[in-house]
């Protein structure tokens, strides 16, 4: 059971890792001169589903999507507790690592270069001052759509690792892990995995496209989520808190 769980989690981890790997393969790099197209606007709303405070709503909606998968309501309640634990642990790791590595975001490096300042000076300011600095810069950039300017002003933290990526990867790992754990192979379970996979992949794509992260940020973030959830589900499998459905 534990080895099968490891294989399933690793398979979908590989799926997410393909995003940064393909970026490296094709030598794509984010640039502040890239033009945003109208069709990319939905990608912004998708990335916002992983931003505070919308991420809290996302967690609630996703937790409800799991309800039909469990044969008993008490199993679902226990699963929700596991989901909450997952979010606290992974986002806590993210915050700790960001403060430890203090890597500037790609778009912050671009703004610093364009304004003749340094990333060190930028991050020496408090968060409110950083947001105002970014907002003032993008007010002069007529080619940048209004819908992304506010996002830049709110995302003035550090780059490594990616909180949005860990968030998305964690929900995919939770989906795959619980489906494997309870032995649910019905169409609804498969549909949920397919939905979470697409959502997570597009989340990673959006973080690169909007200049929020480097490929290495995404890769390590996915691996962090994989490791945390392998530990969680290995523990749950051994304890047999969830009984397989027939």
Catalytic site includes residue 213: yes
Q: What's the pLDDT at 1?
A: 72
Distances (CA, A) of 207 to 113, 151, 160: 21, 11, 12
Given the residues 41, 151, 164, 229, the one annotated as active site: 164
Distance CA 76, CA 85 (A): 14
Distance CA 209, CA 226 (A): 23
Q: So where are the chain's domains?
A: 1-22+38-103+159-246, 106-157
pTM of this structure: 0.95
Catalytic site includes residue 151: no
Distance CA 152, CA 210 (A): 9
Given the residues 41, 151, 213, 229, the one annotated as active site: 213
In CATH, what is the architecture of 1-22+38-103+159-246? Up-down Bundle (1.20)
Residues 6 or more apart from 153 whose CB is under 8 A from it? 131, 132, 134, 135, 138
- 239: three-class secondary structure by DSSP: helix
Tens digit of pLDDT at every position of the chain (246 positions): 788 999 999 999 999 999 999 999 999 999 998 899 888 999 999 999 999 999 999 999 999 999 999 989 999 999 999 999 999 999 999 999 999 999 999 999 999 999 999 999 999 999 999 999 999 999 999 999 999 999 999 999 999 999 999 999 999 999 999 999 998 778 999 999 999 999 999 999 999 999 999 999 999 999 999 999 999 999 999 888 786 544
Q: What is the pLDDT of residues 143-177, one digit of tens each?
A: 999 999 999 999 999 999 999 999 999 999 999 99
- Match 């940048």 to its residue by tokens: 144
């Amino acid at each position: 059971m534990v080895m099968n769980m490891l294989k399933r989690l690793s398979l979908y981890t590989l799926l997410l890792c393909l995003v940064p790997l393909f970026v490296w393969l094709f030598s794509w790099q984010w640039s502040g001169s890239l033009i945003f197209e109208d069709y990319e606007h939905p990608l912004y709303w998708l990335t916002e589903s992983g931003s505070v405070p919308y991420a809290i709503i996302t967690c609630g909606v996703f937790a409800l999507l799991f309800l039909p998968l469990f044969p008993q309501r008490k199993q679902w309640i226990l699963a929700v507790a596991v989901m909450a634990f997952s979010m606290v642990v992974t986002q806590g790791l993210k915050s700790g690592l960001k403060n430890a590595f203090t890597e500037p975001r790609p778009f912050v490096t671009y703004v610093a270069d364009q304004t003749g300042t340094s990333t060190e000076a930028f991050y020496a300011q408090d968060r409110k001052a950083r947001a105002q600095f970014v907002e003032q810069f993008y007010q002069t950039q007529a080619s940048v759509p209004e819908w992304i300017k506010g996002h830049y002003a709110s995302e003035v933290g550090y780059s490594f690792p990616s909180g949005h990526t860990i968030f998305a990867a964690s929900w995919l790992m939770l989906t795959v892990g619980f489906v494997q754990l309870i032995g649910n192979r019905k169409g609804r379970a498969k549909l949920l995995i397919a939905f979470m996979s697409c959502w997570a992949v597009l989340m990673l794509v959006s973080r690169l496209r909007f200049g929020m992260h480097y490929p290495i940020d995404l890769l390590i973030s996915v691996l962090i989520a994989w490791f945390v959830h392998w530990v969680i589900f290995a523990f749950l499998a051994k304890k047999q808190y969830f009984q397989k459905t027939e």
